[in-house]
Structure 1
Amino acid sequence: MSSLKNILLFIALLPLLTFAQEDSGRVVLKGDEVLRVVLEDYYDADSLTPLDTNVKSLYRFLPALFNERNSLGNIGLAGEQLDEKAHSSFGYHLGNDVFNPYLFSKQTNYFYQTKIPYVQVTYLNGPRKYQEIDLVFSQNIRKGLNLTAKFDRFSSEGFYLNQKSIFSNFELQSNFVTKNRRYGILGSWIIEKYEIQENGGIQSDSAFLENLSQNKLGLEVNLRNATNYSDRRRVFLNQFFQFGRRNEMNKSEYHSMIIWENEVNILDYWFDDTDSLSDFYLNNIAVDTSIHFAYDQNGETRYNTLLAYSYTLPNDIEFRAGTKYLNSQITQNQIDSTINSTSLLFEIPRFNVNRFHGALSYELVVDGFNEDAEELNIDFGAELWKAQSLIVGVGFESWSSLPAYNRLNYRSSILNWSNNFNFIFYDALKFYITSEKLKLGLHARIYNYDNYVAIGSDFRPVQFDGTNSGYRLELSKLFSVKPFYLDVNLVYQNVDNPDQIALPEWMIHGSLYYKDFVFRKALEWKIGFDYYWNSEYYANMYFPLTRSFYLQNENLVGNFPFIDVFLAARIKRAHGFLRMNNLLQGFLDQNYMMVFPYPMPDRGFAFGISWDFYN
């Protein structure tokens, strides 16, 4: 009944997609009226790009599946990336990253320069009271000075008891650049909060399989009153100053630049289970009899700064050298720790000479936490077939580092550890072939881990001796016989010791759809389905208290095809979609889980609308 109401609501809103738009002859968006850039490319004037006017992929609002990430069955719940780098990386980090896809990311966050006011409004609605609203407002107060506000909030009840998630993100940002681009400054203030109910999964997998069409709220779960909370505030300020013109014909090109970046990150996150300790904890953890509840309380105040000098040669090869400093004040259940770290870095962010391109970066920690840790990245490619934009490349990645801080130290009411782990070593050789015109991508990676760290079945970190090797092959191809399109993404990966790194051997995902223009090209639409499948494997399970995934070898998941049908359309600056999730649920007598014992969402209807307003 709720799905029928949602369909009727969407149909009722359809006229707004047309009549809420100004006549295309009155307002035509030129290519340079609304420009945007990600933070990494902010220093490069040529990186400002116009808005993408194609049909938006709003219907892919779930971050799992098509991003090769597992899921606990409701949007907002924890997940992990399905590759060997999911839990290990260079440098200092807390390791509290299982909810990151739902937060603002500095790497993908856009900054704007506009000649006219720009507003984007997005609304999504799905099963089990899933609702999301995204708002963006951007306007240049004066030439070169932009002010942007962003707001994102979503909530979902979930199909099972105690599975509700609520996320709220707000950002106020501004950036300014002088007319000749000699000086630029960018700043952002971000508030992110979430509240996630944790049910520990369903108690009886057999009861779930006996009647896949039953009301899922009737199934018992392991935890009824457990919740994870987080409250994070971030402020960052980046500046650059350029000098030494290298092109008298272009007054905005310089050979020298000083970069100064600063960030303050204040984070509080905690777990609270108001029920007395159950077998969910006691069967796996030896707990003092005087302790009756599971909880933790964590906080971090971190300051990062980067000071770097950049020099660009006449042939557009850039060299950059600098230093980083980090100070972190960490609190775990009222016990304080202090982290300091200083590192040196050298980079060639990019070079393009004739048909050759590449990049190089090296960082060495010279003092404090993680001292002597280092990371080297090299990428080199060449365009071998210009007519088809065919690029062949090779890369090398190598780093040594301590594991995430939460793998070294953690404190809660029932589980504590303090580990003196050795450095993790990671080396990878990469090859790739890409062609923009052929819509083809082939990537291969061969890697070795030494001293790998994972979470064991006792919920505690463990460091493995020796080397664990593996490889990963990825093939992506878009086939088209207009107006029909087939998007294929195929992954094959193998690791010598799957009892240390749990990965599905095969993954395949993509889309089959029809896309065309109708009504004298006034409406662009596409209809089709997304698909995802991975082979069966012993996927990591999830422990809510520590917000981490742990190794297990008893419960297989996978080998279930997920099919989502969609209809998406664009009328001028309005976008909308209809979607049916998990179409095969109930038709296949299988356990459709990505993480045991968390079933994926049942079949359900979703819709979404997004408007871009100018002027």
Structure 2
Amino acid sequence: MKRIVLGFFLISLLGQINAQIAPQKRTRTTDTTVVNVKEQDTSKVVRALTKLAGLDGNESAKARIQDYLIISSENDTTYVDTTLTIQKEYKFNYLRKDNFGLIPFSNLGQTYNSLTYNFGSTSLMPEMGARARHFNFMEVEDIYYYRVPTPLTELFFKTALEQGQLLDSFFTVNTSPQFNFSIAYKGLRSLGKYQRQLTSTGNFRFTTNYQTKNNRYIIRAHFVAQDLMNQENGGIKDTSVEDFESGSPETIDRSLLEVNFDGSDDAENILLGKRFHVDHTYRLINKKDSLSENKLSIGHILSFNDKTYQFDQGQSSTIFGDAFKTSNLQDKVTLEDFYNQLHLNFSNNIIGDLQFNISNNNYNYGYNRIVILNDNTIINRLKGNVFSAGGKYHKQYKGFDLQGELGLNIAGDFDGNFLKATASFQLNQDISASATLNHSAKAPNYNVLLYQSDYVNYNWRNNFNNTETQQLAFQLKSNKYATITADFSTISDYTYFKKENDLVEAFQNSNTITYARFKLENEIKFGNFGLNNTILYQKVDGSNNTLNVPELTTRNTLYYANHMFQKALYMQTGLTFNYFTKYYMNGYDPVLAEFYVQTENKYGNFPLLDFFLNVKIRQTRIYVKAEHFNSSLTGYNFYSAPNNPYRDFVVRFGVVWNFFM
């Protein structure tokens, strides 16, 4: 509830700010927006902010939508997009990104089961674990920085499932052409349709960036604080599976279905995280002559991450085997990671862009207890330092765009290396092609190497080999025809969780796995109608059922879009069809917050049909969707994971509202 109150507080505050600086007039076109920001004598706030931004009455007459810049951690720049497209429909969800290849659990804010995997990696260090809790955890690459001519606010709202709402409020302003800050908060509370399924999550973000007037010094920094809590019911009981699949009127009320944890053995897990991140550079040389352009800069990245994962249960459950105690179970693990990188950047229009860097990771992962199992003491902590070196390269040469990146751990307890090279070429104005080679070797995740729990079976210290992956990827892209993507991966010493003898453990596959993916994306338009298709074909060999994916996954949307009421309103309506073939779908373990391999039952082969109606009025987009409206027509055999049904038919709506000065 505190998160929802905070969300409403931010909405109210930002709404009041923007109410004071509301525009007197706006001109609008279909694809871009021009916002009039000329001073009005009635608004002191407008005059103050305009002056702070360094604009006078004439210069501030018009600010284009392209001037509202969004800058990624890799310095890629886009601008605010207020159009209504089918891609916006795909991104109007809890993650606020296209979730093709993921199937969500029944309640909003729970985890997602993965229908596909990407083994291209440029990481040198293990991940914490509890990966099922990380889908909505915002990493460094998920944070953006801004540069705007006038204050900008975005309000996102969407109804949740049974007593709850999803809110995301965002505000950014340039107090001068050199300095920007932004503040945002996403909060969710949703009770869910089944027993013991409450979700309560919050993502707070603050960013700032500054550059000197001569552009020699640039700094970007952010702070994030995140808490993602889920009650865990262990899925519906085996005895309730038949009741669910029968579709009997008595069980249409899903709260009547028995779940595995519904009394004194109720459980929940939570992922907490805080991060402070700074990235700054100073330009030493910025020299131009008639033949060449030379740039030399030095940079520093500092990032401190503090994560905590905790599983609590009132009373032990036989589902997870024997326990050291029968009540008040608590598994708590922390990871502190302090990262420093120094990099030297040289740019020359003949040689290209070069970077050399050295890095240090100081890590501390573990528990505040010692476990003795079968007369063996399981250590409680992994801590130390890892030093690495690497580089980057970028060059445009005779129509080719060449990029490369490499890294190597040169000292410390974890070995690791990666190499990534990409070559892209623009064949003509519409068609481009690219090829990418990626090699990676790194240690398994921390929770695979070390785990401790009040459950006896969930205690281990493994000395697994590094997982090595090689990936070759190709893409042929045409805005007019289609985008075709193919990648081929080989994985050695793949680590995974598997359920054996009704207990989940960590394993390593010593065989080599080959994994191929082919993806087609295209859109066919005829008049005001459109057919958007995404089709994914996958094939796995040599995995011994340790890497399982559906062979075919597809999403097809037939829609109608047109202007109405003298172009004052833009409407978009249609049907989306989602489907994947049967396969050994991974199960979900709430103690680890991880998915595990199971080979007992196959799931899939059920269609998901959604009907949507979206409209845009000025800078406001309104979304209404009837999700899975065929649930009662095509059989109750839909699952997100074993014993975890997918959502029944539900109607949800929401809005995205941008405010400009």
Match of 2:339 in 1: 304
Poorly superposed stretches of 4+, deviation over 3 Å: 20-23, 25-29, 62-66, 84-90, 246-249, 290-294, 333-337
5+ long unaligned stretches in structure 1: 1-19, 42-46
| TM-score scaled by length of structure 2 | 0.83
Corresponding residue of 2:313: 273
Give the conservation status (yes or no) of the 8 Å contact 1:70–1:594: yes
Give structure 2 stretches of 5+ with no counterpart. Answer: 1-21, 28-34, 37-61, 370-379
C-alpha distance in structure 1 between counterparts of 2:467 and 2:382, whole Å: 22
Preserved contact between residue 533 and residue 559 of structure 1 (Cα < 8 Å): yes
Note the 1:346-385 alignment, pairs <5 A: 346-348=391-393, 350-371=394-415, 373-384=416-427
Matching residue of 1:230? 271
- Please say if residues 84 and 501 of structure 1, whose CA atoms lie closer than 8 Å, have aligned partners that are also in contact: no
SS at the partner of 1:70? Answer: strand
Give the CA deviation at 1:338. 1.1
Matches within 5 A, 1:88-103: 90-92=123-125, 93-103=127-137
Shift of 1:600: 0.9
Shift of 1:294: 4.0
> Displacement, 1:35?
1.5
Pair 263,212 (structure 1): closer, same or farther in 2 beyond 3 Å: farther
Equivalent in the alignment of 1:424? 467
CA spacing shift, 1:612–1:191, aligned 2, 3 Å: same
In structure 2, what is the equivalent of residue 72 of structure 1? 105
- SS in structure 2 of the partner of residue 158 of structure 1: coil
Deviation at residue 606 of structure 1 after TM alignment = 0.8
1:468 to 2:522 alignment: no
What secondary structure, in the 3-state scheme, does the structure 2 residue paired with 1:161 have? coil
- Residue aligning to 1:205: 241
Percent of matched pairs sharing the same residue:
22
Please show how residues 534-573 of structure 1 align to structure 2 within 5 Å.
534-573=580-619
Mapped partners of 2:345, 2:497: distance in 1: 41
The verdict on how the C-alpha distance between 1:437 and 1:198 changes in structure 2, with shifts beyond 3 A counting, is: same
Mapped contact 1:70–1:80 kept (Cα < 8 A): yes
Q: Which amino acid counterpart does residue 409 of structure 2 have in structure 1?
A: V
Query: Kindly tell me: are residues 88 and 137 of structure 1, through their superposed partners in 2, closer, same or farther at Cα, counting changes over 3 Å?
Result: closer
- The aligned counterpart of 1:446 is 488
The SS at the match of 2:320 is helix
Structure 1 residue 321 corresponds to structure 2 residue 356 = yes
Q: Is the partner of 2:598 in helix, strand or coil?
A: coil
Deviations 1:387-437 (A, max 9, x none): 32x122222111112111111001111120000101211112222211234
Aligned residue identity for 1:589? G
Asked if structure 2 preserves the Cα contact closer than 8 Å seen for 1:163 and 1:196, the reply is yes
Alignment length (residue pairs): 580
1:516–1:339 distance in 2 versus 1, CA, 3 Å: farther
- Which residue type is aligned with residue 48 of structure 1? T
Instruction: Provide the residue aligned with 1:105 in structure 2.
Output: 139
SS in 1 for 2:188: strand
Matched residue type, 1:77 = Q
Give the CA RMSD over aligned residues: 2.4
Distance 1:50 1:278, change over 3 A: closer
> Mean Cα displacement is larger for which, 112-121 or 330-339?
330-339
Which position in structure 1 is the counterpart of 2:303? 263
State the Cα distance separating 1:291 from its structure 2 match. 4.5
**Deviation of 1:519 (Å):** 2.4
How far has the Cα of 1:88 moved from its partner?
A: 8.3
Q: Distance in 2 between matches of 1:121 and 1:228?
A: 29
Change (3 A) 1:80 1:246: farther
Q: CA deviation at 1:595?
A: 0.9
* Distance (Å, rounded) in 2 between the aligned partners of 1:422 and 1:263: 28
1:61 to 87, 93, 96: 93
- Which residue number in structure 1 is paired with residue 253 of structure 2? 215
Q: In the alignment, what sits opposite 2:17? A: none
CA distance in 2, matches of 1:593, 1:29: 49
Q: Could you give the per-residue CA deviations for residues 2-46 of structure 1, whole angstroms, max 9, x where no partner exists?
A: xxxxxxxxxxxxxxxxxx9854257365145421111111xxxxx
8 Å CA contact 1:256, 1:309 repeated in 2 = yes
Match of 1:491 in 2: 536
Letter in 2 for 1:506: L
- Quick one: distance in 1 between partners of 2:351 and 2:630? 53
Cross-structure match for 1:178: 212
Instruction: Name the aligned partner's letter for residue 210 of structure 1.
Output: S
| CA separation of 1:574 and 1:522: change in aligned 2, threshold 3 A | same
Aligned in 2, Cα 1:337/1:422: closer, same or farther, shift over 3 Å? closer
Q: Deviations over 1:131-156 (max 9, x none)?
A: 11111111111221001111110121
Report the counterpart of residue 409 of structure 1 in structure 2: 450
Instruction: Give the 3-state SS of the residue equivalent to 2:549 in structure 1.
Output: coil
Matches within 5 A, 1:130-209: 130-203=164-237, 204-209=240-245
For residues 65 and 461 of structure 1, do their structure 2 counterparts lie closer, same or farther at Cα, with a shift above 3 Å needed?
farther
Aligned to 1:455: 497
CA distance in 2, matches of 1:129, 1:113: 37
CA distance in 2, matches of 1:404, 1:181: 40
Tell me how far 1:229 sits from its aligned partner.
1.5
